[in-house]
């Protein structure tokens, strides 16, 4: 039987659910971009390399601005940052639906990426501030909303866009408007929180003490960079090219391929919800280690399975791998509690940046070597999870 929520956590649960819903809406809109690649490629006659370049522009916009946003709002908090991010996404989606050239598509996805780069570090910061000490649980609730949104995006494209044409992407602008409305109570809570912090600066300084030495902090951050690199190389191969992979290998329709991608992304949502609470109980390091390294058996078996076996292995790989990120993010936040926005922006940004660069490089390799060869090689990347053994033990913000 699950333990009852702490009083402070029970009170804050509606806020966590609101942030999770906001993350769902944002990532649903973000995932429309990747899910629409087959339609855009066919509509404009693009090569895989051009698809990779578009994905690179999107991912770089989603990554480079995140630490900048986090650092800027660490110094000068901005209460209305969340609706601002949704506004940029709205503009980008509207342009994606009508763009007729690669340059304009790059501008469109750049705006969508900027919206993401604002929302992720700011919403993650607010989630951490409101966690009441249960950061793993809070981040998992927040993260699972994003993963559910990512999994719903391809399904929504299969229903709303694929049968009727790319112009129907414009309908997702209504989701951006809904996100602006949903963010209003979060903005009110954040304004009240900032007002209370100004009245009690001594408690705020005490909460911001770092648990590790500078040398150990730098070493741990470098190890986590390696882990994110390995995680998102494999995630990029599946998120961007899994639809093409199942179409080419099993001769299924675009709609069936979107359902296959939905199953994988749904698994990532389920895995995300597990990683944070388990990390609260046994320590972040062990969750990180098990989740990334534990993906390897499924990733290595998948290229040798039939259609249903491929879907099953993708589900298992997605579940295992996705449980790592909440633990990685909270681990970093606990090491640098005085730089929540910067840390959140760096890790979201680096993750998206690696995914974008990997998408572009993998797209080029697919043009040269083919999808099967690329998937065979990417299957080995989760083995880098071995380096998690060198992370300092931390549990509930303290060294183990």
Write the pLDDT tens digit of every residue in 261-291: 888 878 887 887 777 777 777 777 888 888 8
9 pLDDT more than 60: no
Contacts of 321 (CB under 8 A, 6+ apart): 231, 234, 235, 268, 271, 291, 292, 295, 382
Per the CB < 8 A criterion, the answer to whether 149 and 26 are in contact is yes
| pLDDT class of 165 with cuts at 50, 70, 90 | confident
Average pLDDT of the chain to the nearest whole number: 81
Per the CB < 8 A criterion, the answer to whether 240 and 109 are in contact is no
Long-range contact pairs involving 95-104 (C-beta distance under 8 Å, separation at least 24)? 96/32, 96/33, 96/36, 96/166, 96/169, 97/166, 97/167, 97/168, 97/169, 97/170, 98/167, 98/170, 100/44, 101/44, 102/44, 102/46, 102/50, 102/53, 102/54
366 pLDDT more than 80: yes
Instruction: Please report the pLDDT score of residue 200 as a whole number.
Output: 63
Structure-block tokens of residue 380: 């080995």
Per the CB < 8 A criterion, the answer to whether 153 and 112 are in contact is no
Contacts of 36 (CB under 8 A, 6+ apart): 96, 157, 161, 166, 169
Check: pTM over 0.85? Answer yes or no.
Answer: no
| pLDDT tens per residue across span 212-248 | 677 888 888 888 888 888 888 888 888 788 888 899 8
Q: What percent of the chain has pLDDT over 70?
A: 90
Instruction: Please report the pLDDT score of residue 398 as a whole number.
Output: 43
**Looking at per-residue confidence, does 204 or 45 come out higher?**
45
Least confident among 118-127, 150-159, 257-266, 360-369: 150-159
At residue 394, φ and ψ (nearest 5 deg) are -135, 135
**Which residue intervals of 36-134 are DSSP H helices?**
37-44, 48-75, 81-96, 102-129
| pLDDT tens per residue across span 49-98 | 888 788 788 877 877 778 888 888 877 888 899 999 999 999 999 998 88
Least confident among 35-49, 100-114, 175-189, 205-219: 205-219
Long-range contact pairs involving 280-284 (C-beta distance under 8 Å, separation at least 24)? 280/134, 280/135, 280/136, 280/137, 280/396, 282/395, 283/393, 283/394, 283/395, 283/400, 284/136, 284/327, 284/328, 284/330, 284/331, 284/334, 284/391, 284/394, 284/395
Q: Which residue segments constitute the domains of the chain, with CATH numbers given? A: 7-399 (1.20.1250.20)
Instruction: Please report the pLDDT score of residue 88 as a whole number.
Output: 94
Q: What percent of the chain has pLDDT over 90?
A: 17
How far is 218 from 229, CA to CA, in rounded Å? 17
Instruction: Please report the pLDDT score of residue 18 as a whole number.
Output: 92
Instruction: Please report the pLDDT score of residue 10 as a whole number.
Output: 57
301 pLDDT more than 90: yes
6 pLDDT more than 50: no
């Amino acid at each position: 039987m699950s333990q009852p929520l702490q009083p402070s956590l029970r009170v804050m649960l509606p806020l966590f659910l609101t942030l999770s819903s906001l993350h769902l809406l944002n990532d649903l809109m973000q995932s429309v971009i990747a899910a629409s690649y087959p339609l855009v490629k066919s509509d404009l006659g693009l090569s895989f390399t051009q698809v990779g370049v578009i994905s690179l522009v999107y991912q770089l916009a989603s990554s480079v601005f995140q630490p900048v946003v986090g650092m800027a709002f660490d110094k000068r908090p901005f209460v209305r940052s969340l609706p601002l991010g949704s506004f940029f996404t709205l503009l980008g989606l509207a342009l994606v639906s009508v763009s007729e050239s690669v340059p304009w598509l790059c501008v469109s996805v750049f705006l969508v990426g900027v919206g993401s780069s604002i929302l992720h570090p700011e919403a993650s910061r607010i989630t951490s501030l409101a966690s009441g000490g249960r950061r793993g649980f809070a981040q998992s609730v927040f993260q699972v909303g994003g993963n559910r949104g990512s999994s719903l995006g391809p399904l929504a494209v299969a229903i709303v866009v694929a049968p009727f044409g790319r112009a129907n992407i414009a309908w997702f602008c209504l989701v951006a408007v809904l996100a602006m409305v949903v963010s209003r109570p979060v903005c009110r809570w954040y304004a009240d929180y900032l007002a209370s912090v100004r009245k009690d600066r001594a408690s705020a300084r005490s909460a911001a003490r770092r648990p590790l030495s500078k040398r150990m902090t730098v070493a741990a951050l470098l190890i986590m960079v390696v882990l994110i690199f390995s995680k998102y190389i494999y995630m990029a191969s599946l998120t961007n090219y899994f639809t093409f992979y199942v179409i080419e290998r099993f001769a299924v329709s675009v709609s069936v391929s979107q359902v296959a991608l939905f199953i994988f992304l749904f698994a990532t949502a389920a895995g995300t919800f597990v990683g944070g609470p388990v990390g609260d109980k046994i320590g972040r390091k062990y969750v990180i280690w098990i989740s990334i390294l534990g993906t390897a058996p499924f990733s290595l078996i998948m290229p040798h399975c039939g259609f249903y076996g491929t879907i099953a292995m993708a589900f298992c790989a997605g579940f295992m791998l996705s449980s790592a990120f909440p633990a990685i993010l909270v681990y970093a936040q606990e090491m640098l509690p005085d730089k929540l926005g910067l840390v959140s922006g760096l890790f979201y940004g680096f993750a998206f940046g690696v995914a974008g660069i990997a998408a572009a490089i993998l797209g080029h390799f697919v043009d040269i070597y083919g999808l099967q060869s690329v998937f065979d090689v990417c299957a080995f990347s989760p083995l880098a999870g071995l380096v998690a053994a060198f992370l300092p033990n931390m549990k509930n913000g303290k060294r183990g």
